[in-house]
Amino acid sequence: MTTQDLADGELRWSGRWLVNPWDDDGRLADLAAWPRLRRYLEAHGEQLRGRHAARRRPGQWYRTIDRLVPKLLGTPKLLVPELASRLEPTLDPGGLYPHHGL
């Protein structure tokens, strides 16, 4: 979920999904062990490899900026956008993952 999914204190999920490239131990997943994930990421490889995080670590071109914390999905959260013209906290009862800008 990103700041665009928040409007007037309400959640309005845009339908975007986050693909988690980290395993349960917090290590970057081995794409050889996950062929469907590898195919999906390779299909978007040009865009992913162009990101700053990928240029810094070319061998980890599919990593996210931050490691994901799976328990955040089921946890209620008060979401506050980092950069906003107005402060409008929004409650997520659980089930969505916040973008690093929230």
When pLDDT is cut at 50, 70 and 90, the band that residue 101 belongs to is confident
Indicate if 75 and 94 belong to the same structural domain: yes
Q: Which residues contact 46 (CB under 8 A, 6 or more apart)?
A: none
When pLDDT is cut at 50, 70 and 90, the band that residue 82 belongs to is confident
pLDDT at position 36: 96
Indicate if 61 and 73 belong to the same structural domain: no
Q: What is the pTM of this model?
A: 0.74
When pLDDT is cut at 50, 70 and 90, the band that residue 99 belongs to is confident
Q: How many domains does the chain have?
A: 2
Q: Which residues contact 94 (CB under 8 A, 6 or more apart)?
A: 73, 74, 75, 76, 77
pLDDT at 95 over 90: no
Indicate if 5 and 27 belong to the same structural domain: no
Mean pLDDT, rounded, of the chain: 88
Owner of token pair 């980290």: 22
Residue 84 belongs to domain spanning: 1-14+69-102
37 vs 7, residue with greater confidence? 37
Indicate if 73 and 87 belong to the same structural domain: yes
- The string of pLDDT tens digits covering residues 31-81 is 999 999 999 999 999 999 999 989 999 999 999 988 888 888 889 999 888
Indicate if 62 and 73 belong to the same structural domain: no
